[in-house]
């Protein structure tokens, strides 16, 4: 593939990467659960891996330094956008109370901090016993009958 063809592919991938989180938000709050979020994060990782592979090819081609791909800093801008979006997706996973023990590529990584967070989420609150008394309801019912009419 020549540099112009690879540049077009990179533009397409950069656009897909850039739109990934805003397209996820278009699902609406009800559908923005942890599973669709994780799926979108994995797709983002695949797109960026392809983008990196194409970048490695482009930098070896003749005319790279003068080409629009280089002069517009498409790689740098897309990489920064990617880092920001991974943070957005992972932040959303935390907001969904999903245990965050995956990196962007889906490989498990659990350090001491994640172990503490997981333990905190898995704790249950003590059971509270509520006395069964009808006295409150009786007082409420009596007060309703004595309200002024009118």
pLDDT single digits (tens) 75-119: 999 999 999 999 999 999 998 875 555 555 544 444 444 544 454
For the question of whether the overall pTM of this predicted structure is more than 0.75, the answer is no
Number of domains in the chain: 1
Residue 121 included in any domain: no
State the pLDDT at residue 104.
52
State the pLDDT at residue 112.
44
* Residues of the chain where predicted confidence (pLDDT) is lower than 50: 106-113, 115-117, 119-120, 139-140
State the pLDDT at residue 99.
58
Residue 122 included in any domain: no
Residue 132 included in any domain: no
Residue 138 included in any domain: no
The encoded tokens of residue 149 equal 């009419």
d(CA 59, CA 94): 37
Residue 33 included in any domain: yes
CA dihedral angle for residue 91, residue 14, residue 78, residue 76, rounded to 10 degrees: 170
Residue 119 included in any domain: no
What is the residue range of 55's domain?
3-107
Residue 142 included in any domain: no
Residue 123 included in any domain: no
| DSSP run (H or E) holding 138 | helix 135-145
């Amino acid at each position: 593939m020549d540099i112009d063809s690879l540049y077009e592919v990179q533009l397409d991938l950069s656009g897909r990467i850039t739109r990934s989180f805003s397209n996820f938000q278009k699902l609406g709050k009800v559908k923005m659960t942890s599973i669709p979020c994780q799926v979108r994060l994995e797709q983002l990782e695949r797109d960026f891996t392809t983008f990196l592979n194409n970048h490695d090819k482009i930098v070896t081609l003749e005319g790279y330094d003068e080409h629009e791909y280089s002069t517009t800093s498409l790689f740098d801008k897309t990489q920064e956008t990617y880092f920001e979006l991974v943070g957005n997706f992972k932040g959303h996973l935390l907001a969904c109370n999903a245990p965050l023990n995956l990196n962007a590529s889906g490989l498990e990584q659990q350090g001491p901090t994640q172990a503490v967070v997981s333990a905190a989420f898995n704790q249950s609150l003590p059971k509270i016993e509520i006395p069964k008394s009808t006295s409150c309801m009786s007082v409420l019912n009596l007060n309703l009958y004595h309200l002024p009419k009118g």
